[in-house]
Amino acid sequence: MIFIPNRYTRIYYSIVERAQQRSLPESVYTETHHIIPKSLGGSNNFDNLVKLTFKEHRVCHKLLVKMTEGVSKSKMAYAILFFRVSENVKQSLAESLSDPSTKTIMVPPVPSEPSVDDPAAAPNS
């Protein structure tokens, strides 16, 4: 077995099995996931692919790091660093974080740096 038999592996396979047995509406955004990653010897065969939601896909890749050791673990960690987010996902996330009336992303204000001319900002001597 290429995966460590631990609780992370059990969680991973429960997500995969649940996804294999369900049918999602076309309107739900999904990503194709390699159950056994290609970098660990997995293939593009149908039985090694599963459609996961955006969140499930990210969780599975985080779990893969905890399910592997050595070079395999390094490969899984590397994959997370360069995990691509498609334009559809970026748009979907932007819309979900947007104010529906303005269609702008709501970002909390960043505190401004105190002015050098502001006496209240002068350090206490």
Q: Say what the pLDDT of residue 107 is.
A: 46
State how far the alpha carbon of 8 is from the alpha carbons of 26, 43, 70, in Å. 29, 22, 16
Dihedral angle computed from the Cα positions of residues 86, 89, 91 and 97, in that order, rounded to the nearest 10 degrees: -140
Nearest one of 99, 38, 27 to 72, comparing CA atoms? 38
Per-residue model confidence (pLDDT) at position 39? 94
Structure tokens at 81: 């660093």
Q: Measured between alpha carbons, how far is 115 from 9 in angstroms, rounded to an integer?
A: 53
Contacts of 80 (CB under 8 A, 6+ apart): 61, 62, 65
Beta-carbon contacts of residue 86 (< 8 Å; ≥ 6 apart): 31
Percent of all residues in the chain with a pLDDT value above 90, rounded to a whole number: 56
Strand bridging mode 49-53 / 30-34: antiparallel
- At 72-107, the pLDDT tens digits run 999 999 888 766 655 666 566 656 655 555 454 444
pTM of the model: 0.66
Q: Residues 11-54: pLDDT tens digits?
A: 999 999 999 999 999 899 999 999 999 999 999 999 999 999 98
